[in-house]
Amino acid sequence: MKILVTGGAGYVGSVLIPSLIDKGFFVKCLDRFFFGAEFLSQKKFQKNIELIKDDIRWFDPTILNDVDFVLDLAALSNDPAGELNPSKTFEINHKGRTRVAKLSKEYGVKRYVLASSASIYGQQDHIADEKSSVKPLTAYSKANYNAEIDNLLLNDESFTVTALRFASVYGSSPRMRFDTAVNKMVLDAYNKRKISVSGRENKRPFVFIKDAVKAYFTVLNAKKEKIEGEIFNVGSNEQNYKMDDLANQIVDSIEKPCDIDFQETNDHRSYFATFEKIENILGFKTDYGIKEGIREIYQALTGGVISDNIKTKTVEWYKHLLNNSEDSKKLLVNDTLF
């Protein structure tokens, strides 16, 4: 079985692809490799992976000829990154992924899974389920929602489309990110013994990265009739947290003295979500709680498995590329960086 993973060298993809290979899949990884291809280029993966440096907006569709499943992770990857250039965010995260879905259907792919985000709920007074009215507040979340709308319309008897609305992902990865809420707070605790919290009352759901990977396998292994044209929130009800409660959980988990600095924010995203649908229909439950995930990140930092650098902060790295012509030249595709 062959799987195309777009954006496969990213934060989640770098954990997902080795798991797919371990399960016997051959993986085609389509990525711009802004953050490098070293991890997936290792000799141990070479017989089971094809690395394709290209862009979802114009890749040669013949790479889909022998593909059974497509996991579409490619995107400018969070709300702050999406605001750097909103028009490019819509071009890539909406139109680019709609192109992937349409071509997948045209070339006979059986299943297509869109990596969406619970951030499309924006601001909610009640716990959001998949039927709740969405209120996307950023270019990133609006583009995700538009991609959901367009791509789910392609679902039919021969082409199964599923959208996964992931809670905010945390945990260590070969392509590490310290610009997500949990990861950033743990890094603050490790480096400074002081956690900075923006918007202490803001609400957000969270999911450990290994559970995010588990969700992909759950969908790949599910019966067609359970997932066709469906949207699933991915996370757990127990991991809905206000930001101040999250910071306190981090202090409790690392068991080290640590101060908490609460700050104002202009980020108005605030929502809890329910994850009953994916549990009731697909039997999906998370394996990891927030404390386990926090300790895993902290131990990886203390053991030198992961470390902080400019590439671990997506917006900073994108700005660096935009301002550094020599580094940019190495990543050009069709004479274009973004």
CATH of the domain at 139: 3.40.50.720
Identify which of 175, 169, 209, 217 has the alpha carbon closest to the alpha carbon of residue 40.
175
Task: Tell me, yes or no, whether 259 lies in a domain.
Answer: yes
Structure tokens at 203: 């609400």
Question: Which whole number is the average pLDDT over 185-212?
Answer: 96
Q: Pseudo-torsion of CA 50, 13, 101, 319, nearest 10°? A: -100
Q: Which domain holds residue 318?
A: 2-329
Neighbour tally for 294: CB within 10 Å: 25
pLDDT given for residue 250 in this prediction: 96
- Write the pLDDT tens digit of every residue in 220-261: 999 999 999 999 999 999 999 999 999 999 999 999 999 999
CB 194 within 8 A of CB 185: no
pLDDT of 326 above 80: no
Cα distance between residue 178 and residue 158, in whole Å: 40
Kindly state the average pLDDT of the residues 106-125. 97
Report d(CA 284, CA 289) in Å as an integer: 14
Closest CA to 322 of 25, 85, 107, 74: 85
Number of neighbours of residue 23 by Cβ within 10 angstroms: 12
Three-state secondary structure call for residue 214: helix
- Residue of 183, 284, 281 whose CA lies nearest to 237: 284
* CA–CA dist 29, 40 (Å, integer): 9
- Does residue 312 surpass a pLDDT of 70? yes
Q: pLDDT by residue (tens digit) across 22-42?
A: 999 999 999 999 999 999 999
The pLDDT, as a whole number, for residue 321 is 86
* Contact status, residue 246 vs residue 181, Cβ threshold 8 Å: yes
As a whole number of angstroms, the distance between CA 43 and CA 207 comes to 31
Handedness of CA 135, 195, 175, 13 (dihedral sign): negative
For residue 240, the cross-strand partners are 205
CA-derived radius of gyration, the chain: 19
Model pLDDT, residue 335 = 72
Does some domain include residue 336?
no
334 lies in a domain?
Answer: no
Residue 265 has a pLDDT of 85
Which residues are CB-neighbours of 59 under 8 A, at least 6 positions away?
30, 52
Q: Would residue 335 count as lying in a domain?
A: no
Q: What do you get for the CA distance between the two ends of the chain, in Å? A: 32
Residue 337 domain flag: no
Range 131-170 burial, b when 16+ CB lie within 10 A, else e: ebebbbbbbbbbbbbbbbebbbebbeeebbbbbbbbbbbb
Residue 246 φ/ψ, nearest 5 degrees: -60, -45
Model confidence at 82, pLDDT cuts 50, 70, 90, reads low
Total domain count for the chain? 1
Return the H-helix or E-strand segment holding 245: helix 243-254
Q: How far apart are CA 123 and CA 81, in angstroms?
A: 20
Given a contact cutoff of 8 angstroms between Cβ atoms, the answer to whether 30 and 51 are in contact is no
Average pLDDT along the chain: 94
Question: pLDDT grade, residue 81 (50/70/90)?
Answer: low
